[in-house]
């Protein structure tokens, strides 16, 4: 039996930021029952991730193939964020899944197409014309994978859709048809779709993103000699094969556009990091210009370098990077799904060969085999790290992110096992096997160290401060797993009120000064059924100065019920000072000169009233 080279992922990286955490593979899964005899050219699997789960769509059985997608029975597998399989189900017929997204609640949204039939549980669709695929978007509910709604996309089988984008409560779908491009906006709760933008042209729309204000950015190619910019005068261009970026306002009116003289119908992708940072990525096949910047053509036509560019919301280019091979140019990336933006990093996953040069001295020799590179750039364009695979036959066909981690799917062929650093999983020999892997990309500052303590009947949650932190984000939930988002705070402590009873999950992460986030630090506590930050029942109580040094005063005591008790507690709940007062004065001053510097709590309690406030001694 012939021995193929194992897929070995190795570090070839210089970490250029001293605060950056290096990437690490968390887990990898393969499905050896799904072994495909055909090659790795057609994409057969996609994935998406929420805060707690990962959904993986793979082609279980190919019933029909038309480039660029095969059509057949699709297997949907759900993993936890830790890589544990939780459920699977099937969509049967002649079906292809193009893209998947998740909302903040963990529901799944599938963009796909079917030729003559689609069956999911008791739901079915039949296409009697069979002239071409019909595209759709469907929602599967979190947990049950029940079909919530199914929305056809486009007007007929001439319609194609290349990507799906989620923002707030809406999905954005760019479509091509015989005579025009239409950007649809779909409400996630009901599946109701509306037309946001219509471009009267015969070209291709490859990608769309939207910012918090609903403004839309569209990337396309081969628009013909003009584009109807939705109510404005058409833009005339002098070449059939231009690529372009157009921004529309939330109401669909034209804002600005950028055209690039590629001379090829090149598919590229947009990613949005924040309202003023847009990434434009994809292959370079010929000499091109972008916002006045000339990008040289590859040494071998149609073997392509790989473009990564950052733009602001006005369309001005901040930086451009060209990933290239230093020997024989073989950076191929026709599939635009293998570039994603995390909080403040742009991560590229192109197919590569030979010596790959990312700039700033980051160069890797991946050999002459089919391989892939995972490359991260900081928000300012600085290369952060590069990891490369080396295998006899391997591919990365889709990449997605939950905002921090990267999930990569692909196909690999080897006689024995798939190896990613220290991770090793078996493969079915002499077949192409599907795989999915989770890569923790790291952030530009560390995760906080979480602590728990008891303050009387309350739970005190506090965490160590982190160098490079702009603020922190915390969440209190009743479900295990990391949350999708939380509440920002500049403090590093909070009180959870109540009596022992329910189990709650406390998670905190660092928001770095560059806008990125660390991983979540989580722990479980026993807390009351109603969890809330302790608030004073008598807003007249105040402590000053705060922060304090040698003494602290408490005012407003005369307005409380009598008698009253004053306590000072440390963060572990130990009582360091207590005074009982039968008839409180208007103001009480406490000598704190003997206390160490740090965080304390002052509790003032009477019959129905209780006030707990944080005190900082410095």
Same domain, 501 and 549: no
User: DSSP state, 202?
Assistant: S
Does any domain span residue 137? yes
Residue ranges with strand state E in 380-431: 383-390, 393-394, 398-401, 405-413, 417-420, 423-426
Same domain, 549 and 523: no
Share of the chain above pLDDT 70, in %: 73
Same domain, 52 and 156: yes
User: pLDDT tens digits, residue range 162-203?
Assistant: 899 999 899 999 998 767 788 999 999 999 999 988 887 767
Same domain, 84 and 52: yes
How far, in Å, CA of 552 to CA of 2, rounded? 79
Does any domain span residue 422? no
Question: How high does pLDDT run on average in the chain?
Answer: 77
Residue range 575-580: mean pLDDT, rounded = 86
Residue ranges with strand state E in 458-556: 458-463, 469-477, 487-489, 493-496, 502-512, 521-527, 542-544, 551-555
Residue range 500-509: mean pLDDT, rounded = 78
Residue range 523-547: mean pLDDT, rounded = 59
pTM of the model: 0.71
146: confidence class by pLDDT, cuts 50, 70, 90? very high
In this prediction, residue 80 carries a pLDDT of: 92
In this prediction, residue 37 carries a pLDDT of: 54
Give the CATH number, domain containing residue 471. Answer: 2.60.40.10
Does any domain span residue 594? yes
Quick check: helix, strand or coil at residue 380? coil
284: confidence class by pLDDT, cuts 50, 70, 90? confident
Same domain, 472 and 554: no
Does any domain span residue 430? no
CA distances from 196 to 36, 173, 208, 252 (A): 40, 10, 12, 6
Among 137, 162, 187, the domain-final residue is 162
In this prediction, residue 329 carries a pLDDT of: 41
Quick check: helix, strand or coil at residue 559? helix
247: confidence class by pLDDT, cuts 50, 70, 90? very high
Strands 417-420 and 7-11: parallel
Does any domain span residue 98? yes
Least confident range of 286-290, 342-346, 564-568:
342-346
In this prediction, residue 3 carries a pLDDT of: 26
Note down the domain range covering 501: 450-527
Same domain, 520 and 546: no
* C-alpha 573, offset from chain centre: 39
Least confident range of 210-224, 243-257, 494-508, 531-545:
531-545
Residue range 39-49: mean pLDDT, rounded = 70
In this prediction, residue 137 carries a pLDDT of: 97
393: confidence class by pLDDT, cuts 50, 70, 90? low
User: pLDDT tens digits, residue range 70-111?
Assistant: 889 999 999 998 999 999 999 999 999 999 999 988 999 999
Give the CATH number, domain containing residue 605. Answer: 2.60.40.3080
Apex 606 CA angle, 600 and 608, nearest 5: 115
Residue ranges with strand state E in 189-344: 193-199, 204-210, 216-221, 226-227, 235-236, 243-248, 254-260, 269-274, 277-284, 288-290, 293-295, 305-311, 317-325, 339-341
In this prediction, residue 166 carries a pLDDT of: 94
Task: Name the residue among 141, 262, 149, 252 with its Cα closest to residue 203.
Answer: 262
Residue range 483-492: mean pLDDT, rounded = 80
- Using an 8 Å Cβ cutoff, are 434 and 58 in contact? yes
In this prediction, residue 14 carries a pLDDT of: 26
275: confidence class by pLDDT, cuts 50, 70, 90? confident
Same domain, 146 and 57: yes
Same domain, 518 and 611: no
Per-residue tokens: 253? 């009116």
Q: Residues near 122 by Cβ (< 8 Å), separated by ≥ 6?
A: none
Q: What are phi and psi of 54, to 5 degrees?
A: -130, 135
User: DSSP state, 564?
Assistant: E
How far, in Å, CA of 556 to CA of 584, rounded? 9
In this prediction, residue 328 carries a pLDDT of: 46
Same domain, 150 and 67: yes
Asked if the model's pLDDT at residue 455 lies above 80, the reply is no
604: confidence class by pLDDT, cuts 50, 70, 90? confident
44: confidence class by pLDDT, cuts 50, 70, 90? confident
Per DSSP, the residues of 49-118 read E-SSEEEEEEEEEEEEEETTEEEEEEEEEEEETTS-EEEEEEEEEEEEEEEEEE-TT--EEEEEEEEEEE
Among 527, 550, 575, the domain-final residue is 527
112 vs 234, residue with greater confidence: 112
Same domain, 574 and 523: no
How far, in Å, CA of 75 to CA of 57, rounded? 6
Does any domain span residue 129? yes
545: confidence class by pLDDT, cuts 50, 70, 90? confident
User: pLDDT tens digits, residue range 329-382?
Assistant: 444 444 455 678 765 678 887 766 666 777 667 776 655 555 667 788 877 888
Per-residue tokens: 339? 């570039």
Same domain, 477 and 568: no
Does any domain span residue 597? yes
Count of structural domains within the chain = 3
Among 119, 140, 162, the domain-final residue is 162
User: DSSP state, 220?
Assistant: E
CA distances from 446 to 340, 377, 440, 517 (A): 22, 18, 13, 9
Same domain, 610 and 553: yes
In this prediction, residue 64 carries a pLDDT of: 84
In this prediction, residue 215 carries a pLDDT of: 93
516 vs 46, residue with greater confidence: 46
How far, in Å, CA of 266 to CA of 207, rounded? 12
458: confidence class by pLDDT, cuts 50, 70, 90? low
CA distances from 451 to 133, 506, 522 (A): 55, 10, 10
- Compute the Cα dihedral for 293, 322, 286, 338 and give only its sign: negative
Does any domain span residue 573? yes
Residue range 386-401: mean pLDDT, rounded = 71
Least confident range of 37-46, 561-570, 588-597:
37-46
Please classify residue 551 by burial: count the beta carbons closer than 10 Å to its beta carbon, then call 0-12 exposed, 13-18 middle and 19+ buried: exposed
Asked if the model's pLDDT at residue 292 lies above 50, the reply is yes
User: pLDDT tens digits, residue range 407-440?
Assistant: 888 877 766 777 777 788 887 777 778 889 898 8
Asked if the model's pLDDT at residue 533 lies above 50, the reply is no
CA distances from 378 to 225, 264, 345, 360, 441 (A): 36, 29, 5, 12, 12
In this prediction, residue 145 carries a pLDDT of: 96
Highest mean pLDDT range out of 115-124, 343-352, 487-496?
115-124
How far, in Å, CA of 235 to CA of 241, rounded? 14
């Amino acid at each position: 039996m012939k021995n193929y080279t194992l897929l070995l992922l190795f570090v070839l990286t210089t970490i250029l930021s001293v605060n950056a955490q290096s990437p690490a593979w968390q887990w990898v899964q393969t499905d050896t029952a799904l072994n495909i005899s055909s090659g790795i050219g057609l994409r057969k699997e996609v994935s998406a991730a929420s805060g707690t789960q990962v959904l993986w769509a793979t082609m279980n059985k190919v019933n029909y193939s038309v480039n660029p997608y095969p059509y057949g029975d699709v297997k949907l597998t759900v993993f936890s964020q830790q890589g544990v399989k939780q459920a699977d189900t099937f969509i049967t017929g002649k079906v292809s899944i193009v893209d998947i997204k998740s909302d903040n609640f963990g529901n799944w949204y599938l963009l796909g197409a079917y030729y003559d039939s689609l069956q999911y549980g008791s739901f079915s669709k039949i296409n009697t014309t069979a002239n071409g695929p019909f595209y759709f978007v469907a929602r599967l509910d979190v947990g049950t994978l029940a079909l919530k709604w199914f929305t056809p996309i486009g007007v007929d089988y001439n319609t194609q859709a290349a990507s799906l984008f989620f923002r707030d409560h809406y999905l954005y779908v760019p479509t091509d048809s015989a005579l025009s491009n239409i950007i649809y906006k779909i409400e996630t709760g009901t599946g109701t779709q509306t037309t946001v933008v219509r471009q009267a042209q015969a070209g291709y729309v490859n990608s769309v993103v939207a910012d918090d204000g609903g403004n839309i950015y569209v990337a396309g190619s081969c628009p013909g000699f003009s584009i109807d910019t939705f109510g404005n005068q058409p833009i005339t261009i002098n070449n059939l094969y231009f690529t372009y970026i157009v921004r529309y306002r939330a109401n669909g009116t034209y804002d600005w556009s950028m055209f690039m003289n590629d001379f090829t119908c090149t598919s590229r992708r947009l990613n949005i990091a924040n309202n003023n940072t847009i990434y434009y990525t994809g292959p370079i096949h010929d000499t091109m210009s972008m916002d006045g910047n000339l990008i040289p053509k590859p040494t071998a036509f149609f073997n392509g370098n790989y473009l990564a560019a950052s733009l602001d919301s006005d369309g001005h280019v901040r930086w451009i990077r060209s990933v290239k091979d230093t020997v024989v140019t073989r950076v191929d990336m026709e599939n635009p799904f293998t570039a994603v933006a995390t909080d403040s990093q742009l991560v590229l996953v192109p197919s590569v060969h030979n010596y790959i040069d990312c700039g700033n001295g980051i160069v890797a020799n991946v050999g002459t085999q089919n391989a892939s590179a995972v490359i991260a750039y900081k928000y300012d364009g600085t290369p952060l790290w590069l990891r490369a695979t080396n295998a006899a036959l391997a591919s990365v066909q889709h990449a997605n992110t939950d905002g921090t981690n990267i999930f990569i799917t692909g196909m690999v062929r080897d006689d024995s096992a798939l190896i990613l650093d220290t991770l090793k999983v078996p493969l079915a020999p002499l077949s192409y096997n599907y795989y999915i892997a989770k890569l923790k990309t790291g952030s530009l500052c560390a995760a906080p160290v979480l602590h728990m303590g008891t303050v009387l009947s309350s739970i005190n949650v506090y965490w160590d401060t982190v160098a490079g932190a702009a603020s922190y984000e915390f969440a209190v939930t009743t479900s295990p797993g990391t949350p999708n988002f939380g509440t920002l705070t500049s403090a590093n402590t909070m009180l959870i009120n109540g009596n022992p009873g329910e189990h709650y999950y406390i998670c905190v992460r660092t928001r770095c000064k560059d806008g990125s986030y660390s991983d979540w630090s989580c722990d479980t506590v026993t807390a009351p059924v109603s969890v809330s930050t302790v608030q004073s029942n008598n807003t007249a109580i105040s402590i000053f100065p705060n922060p304090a040094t040698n003494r602290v005063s408490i005012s407003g005591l005369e307005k409380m019920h009598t008698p009253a008790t004053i306590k000072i507690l440390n963060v572990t709940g130990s009582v360091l000072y207590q005074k009982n007062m039968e008839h409180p004065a208007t103001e009480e001053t406490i000598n704190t000169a003997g206390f160490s510097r740090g965080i304390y709590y002052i509790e003032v309690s009477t019959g129905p009233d209780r006030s707990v406030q944080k005190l900082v001694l410095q």
